[in-house]
């Protein structure tokens, strides 16, 4: 079956699982996931499952990515901070919806590979930082101090204070929080100095490592 047909089947699966945000579904229709997985795993690209990357990392399950993006309530005006560039797949999905994506990856080899691929795919609204995701967008260009949306693609033992400090008023932070191997998907919304925290089910991500 052609990758284009497999992509449409994936979108139908996402819809059946409760993904209804039109922008999220359009993003999944536009981005070729097969380009973001290892060459020997291309035939598995549209299975609704995580797949291994190098450096003991993973490309997340499509449904989990879609859930996080839907809970973020993305708009075309958003500047999004992504923690965990990985293969670049979610950055590509985000970049098709929002104004700009600033993405942080701790592992240099992964970041450089993602940068090359995303530039080859024609993206010009994605910016990169290699460093500790716990610190967010620190000493990086563009010199943003806060973000309307923050999405963390690794499991954190707690919500990093520096990420909360970089969350704009009325901004939304989506992050898996918990022990290694088991986290709870957590949504934080800032209203001035107040934070509203809700929980949205169990998930499993690679750990958000402090450098």
Whether residue 47 contacts residue 13, with contact meaning beta carbons closer than 8 Å, is answered with: no
d(CA 127, CA 18): 31
Note if 211 is an active site residue: no
> Quick one: DSSP state of residue 95?
H
The long-range contacts involving 181-186, CB below 8 angstroms and separated by at least 24 positions, are 183/155, 183/156, 185/67, 185/68, 185/71, 186/159
Identify the CA nearest to 98 among candidates 69, 67, 71, 58. 69
13, 17, 20, 60: the catalytic one is 60
Distances from the Cα of 165 to the Cαs of 147, 161, 170, in angstroms? 10, 6, 13
d(CA 33, CA 166): 30
Whether residue 27 contacts residue 68, with contact meaning beta carbons closer than 8 Å, is answered with: no
**Catalytic residue ranges:** 60
């Amino acid at each position: 079956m052609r990758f284009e047909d497999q992509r449409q089947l994936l979108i139908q699966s996402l819809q059946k699982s409760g993904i209804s945000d039109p922008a999220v579904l359009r993003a999944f229709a536009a981005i070729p996931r097969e380009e973001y997985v290892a060459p020997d795993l291309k035939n598995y690209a549209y299975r609704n499952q995580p797949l291994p990357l190098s450096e003991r990392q993973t490309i997340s399950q499509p449904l989990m990515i879609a859930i996080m993006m839907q809970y973020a309530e993305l708009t075309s005006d958003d500047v999004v901070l992504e923690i965990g560039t990985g293969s670049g797949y979610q950055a590509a999905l985000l970049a098709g919806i929002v104004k700009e994506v600033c993405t942080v990856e701790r592992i240099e080899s992964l970041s450089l590979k993602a940068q090359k691929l995303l530039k080859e795919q024609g993206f010009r609204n994605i910016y990169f930082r290699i460093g500790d995701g716990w610190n967010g967008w620190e000493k990086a260009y563009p010199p943003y101090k806060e973000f309307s949306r923050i999405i963390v693609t690794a499991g954190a033992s707690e919500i990093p204070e520096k990420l909360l400090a970089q969350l704009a008023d009325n901004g939304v932070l989506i992050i898996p929080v918990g022990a290694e191997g088991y986290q709870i998907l957590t949504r934080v919304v800032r209203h001035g100095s107040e934070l509203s925290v809700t929980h949205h089910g169990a998930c499993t991500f690679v750990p958000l490592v402090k450098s």
